[in-house]
A = this chain, B = another copy of it.
Amino acid sequence: MTERLVVIGGDAAGMSAASQARRLKGPDELSITAFERGHFTSYSACGIPYWVGGDVERRDDLIARGPEEHRARDIDLRMRTEVTEIDVAGQRVRTLDRDSGETSWTGFDKLVIATGARPVRPALPGMDAAGVHGVQTLDDGQALLDSLDRATGRRAVVVGAGYIGVEMAEAMLKRGFEVTVLNRGEQPMATLDPDMGRLVHDAMDGLGITTVNRSGVTSIRTGPDGRVGAVETAGASYPADVVVLGIGVEPETALARAVGLPVGPHGGLLTDLSMRVVGHDNIWAGGDCVEVLDLVAGRTRHIALGTHANKHGQIIGSNVGGGYGTFPGVVGTAVSKVCDLEIARTGLREKDARAVGLRFVTTTIESTGRAGYYPGARPMTVKMIAEYRTGRLLGVQIVGRDGAAKRVDVAAVALTAAMTVEQMTSLDLGYAPPFSPVWDPVLVAARKTVTALRRAGTA
């Protein structure tokens, strides 16, 4: 008998799961039906800022695989079809065709929930005005690009100074706008400690981006034409011809919560190591709608990132298709850039470490990405956090230019292996003058952290 797999959501996690399951089982063993409520499948949402900024020319460059490619692999993909209800006991989902309005039921033996995340959009006056844009989907990106053409002035306000916020600040700058970033937090990039966020702030200043910290939006003021005119905060008003919302996302789990599937403290679905929804033998979930285990903190987190979604999909597809795979968790690695400034983090920030009861020492060092005498050597700041007593690495943050961001990968692997900073001092990292000083910046930070541990009467 043919087993029936239903996938809710046609982006990274869902379609990776479908594709991997199909690789392992042919259509006579396993039928696969996937529902996508939007117009696109398998696209890189992370690439939208670069398309808006003009680095990536065409929208379709961001699409890894279109509906026809999926269908050619015997995946029955239904576009513009929204799943409106999961009947767990009855093993079926109800769907709505968003074009025709028709509804119907589809039965499943195994279900994959990959409903993704939705942008946080605070319910403030004027939020729905013309010229106010999210950048979560390709449709959003297209709407923003069209809006830029219609904008009469060149003043852009970006709300939020996280990854999306700073990337969109760069994009708007590249489109010739005067850019103001309104940031609720103490410094931009709240995923870094404030002392490292300060470096990002300074660099953004240098790039001509105005960043206003501790600045929560209270309303959007519209002009007589109904289009956005200004963004209001408690203390000021920022004239705006276009507004980009980069406030972050939250797991899209309404469907799953409606039938009592378990969600965690951050609103994401909870799964076991095989990405199966806790308590449900035949339901898997992955991508931006789940919480993942933070291996350093020993707690779940919500992280919306394409690389995790792809891994989840791969693992779910293996397990659904009769293979085997597990997702052990994350260490919280993230990289980004604003123009030539690279920003990276992995592991815990100071406040994360405190929140889970860890005592620690921190050090911050300055180095360069190449030998100091090699042309193009640019400064790089590395902050390292290690546990008191054990000396175990807890986190690394890097802000700099020219090879700064991907250096965080060394720390990501060290965190995964639960290395101490003492062990890290003897890591055999690649050295040649065009690629690193003779002591790689990560090694310099590790050495200094060892000294700090010793001074703290530990290690």
Contacts and interface: CB of A to CB of B under 8 A. Distances in A.
Contacts of A163: 432
Given A335-B435, A430-B333, A374 B416 contact: no
Interface string A417-459: 1010001011111111111101110000001000000000000
A216 interface: no
Interface residues of A, number: 65
Contacts of A254: none
Contacts of A434: 50, 337
A262 interface: no
Nearest to A55: B375
Indicate the member of A61, A334, A416, A440 with the most B CB atoms within 10 Å. Answer: A416
Nearest to A327: B426
Interface stretch (A78-86, A90-98, A190-198, A399-407): A399-407
B306 A428 contact: no
A436 B406 contact: yes
B375 A56 contact: yes
Interface in A280-317: 305-308, 310-311, 314
Indicate the member of A373, A425, A435 with the most B CB atoms within 10 Å. Answer: A373
Copies in the complex: 2
A50 B423 CA distance: 32
A430 B409 contact: yes
Contacts of A336: 432
A346 interface: yes
A412 interface: yes
Contacts of A47: 371, 373-374, 433
A413 B417 contact: yes
A433 B375 CA distance: 26
Interface in A325-375: 326-328, 330-337, 342, 344, 346, 371, 373-375
Contact of A413 (B12, B333, B414): B414
Contacts of A417: 413-414, 416-417, 419
B310 A433 contact: no
B419 A50 contact: no
A408 interface: yes
Interface string A27-64: 00000000000000000101100100001100001100
A438 B306 contact: yes
B419 A405 contact: no
A278 interface: no
A374 B55 contact: yes
A412 B432 contact: no
A199 interface: no
A410 interface: yes
Contact of A429 (B409, B425, B433, B447): B409
Nearest to A310: B438
B328 A431 contact: no
23 contacts: A44-B371, A44-B373, A47-B373, A50-B433, A306-B431, A307-B431, A307-B438, A308-B428, A311-B426, A334-B430, A334-B431, A335-B430, A346-B428, A405-B435, A406-B435, A409-B410, A409-B429, A409-B430, A410-B412, A412-B430, A413-B413, A414-B417, A417-B417
Contacts of A55: 374-375
A412 B428 contact: yes
A382 to B, nearest CB: 14
